[in-house]
Structure 1
């Protein structure tokens, strides 16, 4: 069994889907979390591709880019979809949640309060549009009482859960108008799949 080290800051962020995939697969891994100050020193070592986090160290092989890492782990541990079409749908959803996470980061790091408010309005609209589309997609897959893609949990469900953890922390009623998604989020939260969350 390869030895994995998920390397990120002390936050969920871009590393959380990968942590959840490993947890769902029952794979032991090292969860390395740097402070900003520690990272400034650590990245000078030159061992991190592109000098950014998150990274995955697997037996000395280093991968960068959060979505690429999550896809790799999902493929390794059977959580990427069973057919090429399912894999494409899982990738599509993982990328969608990655875009939402980038939207949160833009808002967080924006210094101008007026611009921050504009970004928040745009983001809220994008979240509403995305959730409406996801609710339809979930219902189209076996009536909405299973998972986003196929007949078992996948990276798509785990990335959805990770994203909702971010969104629900500031808008607890966000999923109230999307009953199937709300039930999915609770199913994933209550399973062993999210023991690392």
Structure 2
């Protein structure tokens, strides 16, 4: 089995979906968390392909950059990418739409002006509702919505949903109440034994 080092800041953000893949697959890896003050020196080292994290070191020989490339690689390696090309395309579709959720939440977190933050939140809730409405329909279209977003087993799209919805209290803590099928799926994901174990032991971080 390959030796993995997943390198990122001590936050969930762009690395948590990959950490959940590792957890559910039962794959050992080194969860390297770089302190913010250490990052300038790390970045200057030249070992990060695009000068960004997260990165996944594989057998100490190759460093894979970009969070979605890392997640897609791990999902394909360990059976969370979809069972055929169409399922994989559907999973990728869901993963890609969650980028809008991630960017919106990031804008809220890093906005220092409280007046602007209120406005950004209000605008973002409209965007988030649009995305979640579409995802609720997608989930319901897949065997009535009582399983997973794509296919008949959990994929990294379901992990991504869980990770992004952890940030809902930052803009609308009750947003999932409007999407009962998605809310139930988030609970199902958190109840997977390997995921539940990870959620218990993972470092507690602000975001």
TM-score category by the smaller chain? over 0.9
Corresponding position of 1:32: 32
Corresponding position of 2:87: 86
More moved, 149-158 vs 31-40 = 31-40
Aligned length: 197
CA RMSD of aligned residues (A): 1.5
> How far has the Cα of 1:193 moved from its partner?
4.5
What does 1:11-160 correspond to in 2, within 5 Å?
11-60=11-60, 61-160=62-161
Q: Cα deviation per residue 1:105-144 (whole Å; 9 max; x = unaligned)?
A: 1222234444433322221111111111111111110111
Give the Cα–Cα distance (whole angstroms) in 2 for the partners of residues 192 and 126 of structure 1: 33
Give the Cα–Cα distance (whole angstroms) in 2 for the partners of residues 129 and 31 of structure 1: 34
Q: Cα deviation per residue 1:57-83 (whole Å; 9 max; x = unaligned)?
A: 111210111111111110111100011
Give the Cα–Cα distance (whole angstroms) in 2 for the partners of residues 129 and 170 of structure 1: 14
Give the Cα–Cα distance (whole angstroms) in 1 for the partners of residues 116 and 73 of structure 2: 36
Three-state SS of the structure 2 residue aligned to 1:79 is coil
Corresponding position of 1:3: 3
Give the Cα–Cα distance (whole angstroms) in 2 for the partners of residues 181 and 193 of structure 1: 20
Three-state SS of the structure 1 residue aligned to 2:14 is helix
Q: Is the 8 A contact 1:43 1:51 kept in 2?
A: yes
Give the Cα–Cα distance (whole angstroms) in 2 for the partners of residues 123 and 169 of structure 1: 11
Three-state SS of the structure 1 residue aligned to 2:130 is helix
> How far has the Cα of 1:170 moved from its partner?
5.4
TM-score, normalization by structure 2: 0.89
> How far has the Cα of 1:165 moved from its partner?
1.0
